[in-house]
Amino acid sequence: MEKENQGNGNKALLLVIGAATFITAMVGATFAYFSATSTSDQKTVTTATSNITVTADNNTVTNIRPTTWNEANKDTDTEIVKMTVSVDGTSTASGRYSLTMNQPTINIGSIASDQGVVGDFKWAAYDEEGNQLVAPTSMAASQTNTLIPGKDKSGYTNDYTATGASPVTIDDEYYVYVWIENKNADQNNLQEVSFDLTFTGSGTTSTN
């Protein structure tokens, strides 16, 4: 009986030693004999900043009066708003932007109800190559209009491309013409009306 107990004790001891050996083997590296380490210098890369700037260069003609729109020969009684859209700070030559015109409430005079309405103010938009973007349109009391139609992805309507070293800079020009349509009648309510148009550009680097 005593011998049997002693045999069991030996077996247990062997099992403990075996288990310890196995655990040591499994964690291997943590019991490395030699070790060395090397940490590289820290390196960095910067991400791009996408900037879009809309500059409106207006007031080439002031004190406009009723006129007749002639696309081929825009006369001096059209208010020309020239906009320059700049996209920079990007490292690739593609992206997309939208351009909208924001028109505030137009307050006209009240001399007589038949002497001119807000809708007599017209506007149209063109790109720098003379392509019509927005056909002559009556102004409403207030509204926001997309100037560059034709694209339909995520509200960014105009792809741009450019070449050159990073950062890429492009300058696109657009023209908005504003005039008072000549109704061949009194339009005195429109005298001395003044309002400011603002233009908003939104850009994205994504073309998906």
Partner 1 sequence: MEKKKNNSTSVVLTIVGVATLLVALVGATFAYFTASSTSSGQKVDAGKLEVVSTLGDTSQTNIMPTTWDSATISNNDSNDNIAKFTLTVDGGATDVRGAVYDLSITGAVNTTTVNNGVAEQGGDESDVKYQLVKNGEVKATGDFTNLTAKSILTGQTLTGSTEDEYTLYVYILEDNTNQDKLQGATVSVKMIANAYTPKIGG
Q: Under the rule (CB under 8 A), what is the footprint of partner 1?
A: 24-25, 28-29, 31-52, 89-92, 166-167, 202, 205-206, 208
For residue 199, give every residue at least 6 positions away whose Cβ sits within 8 Å of its Cβ, in sequence order, or none.
Answer: 54, 56, 81, 83, 99, 100, 101, 102, 147, 176
Between 5 and 30, whose beta carbon lies closer to partner 1?
30
With respect to partner 1, which residue has the nearer C-beta, 101 or 118? 101
Any residues with CB less than 8 A from the CB of 32 and at least 6 apart, and which? none
Residue 20 tokens, joined: 């310890």
| 21 SS3 class | helix
| Minimum distance, C-beta of residue 98 to partner 1, in the bound complex (Å) | 12
Question: What residues contact residue 183 under an 8 Å CB cut-off, 6+ apart?
Answer: 66, 116, 120
| Nearer of residues 40 and 62 to partner 1, judged by Cβ | 40
- For 135-164, letters b (16+ CB in 10 Å) and e give eeeebeeeeebbbbeeeeeeebbbebebee
CA–CA distance, 17 with 89 (Å, rounded to integer): 66
Least gap, CB of 166 to partner 1 (angstroms): 5
Q: Are strands 94-103 and 143-146 parallel, antiparallel or unpaired?
A: antiparallel
The DSSP output letter for 76 is T
Cβ proximity to partner 1, 59 vs 144, nearer residue: 144
Smallest gap from residue 2 Cβ to partner 1 (A):
37
- Which of residues 67 and 169 has its CB atom nearest to partner 1 in the complex? 169
In the bound complex, what is the minimum distance in angstroms from residue 50's beta carbon to partner 1?
Answer: 6
Nearest approach, Cβ of residue 48 and partner 1 (Å): 4
CA of residue 102 relative to chain centroid, distance: 16
Q: Least Å distance between CB 81 and partner 1?
A: 20
Q: Which CB sits closer to partner 1, 44 or 131?
A: 44
